């Protein structure tokens, strides 16, 4: 799901979504969303 779709679904700006995703990736030490999903899926 891209930032635009997420932003529309939760009624926030794309910039807000971008910042939150960036924060999650940093805190989980994942380089991108694909790596994050792989880690979650186990």
pLDDT single digits (tens) 1-23: 999 999 999 999 999 999 999 99
Give residue 24's pLDDT: 98
Under a CB-based contact definition with an 8 Å cutoff, are residues 22 and 32 in contact? no
What's the whole-model pTM score? 0.85
Query: How far is residue 2 from each of residues 21, 38, 42, measured CA to CA in Å?
Result: 11, 17, 22
Give residue 26's pLDDT: 98
């Amino acid at each position: 799901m891209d930032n635009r779709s997420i932003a529309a679904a939760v009624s926030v700006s794309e910039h807000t979504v971008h910042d939150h995703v960036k924060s999650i990736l940093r805190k989980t030490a994942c380089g991108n969303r694909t790596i994050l999903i792989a880690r979650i899926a186990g």
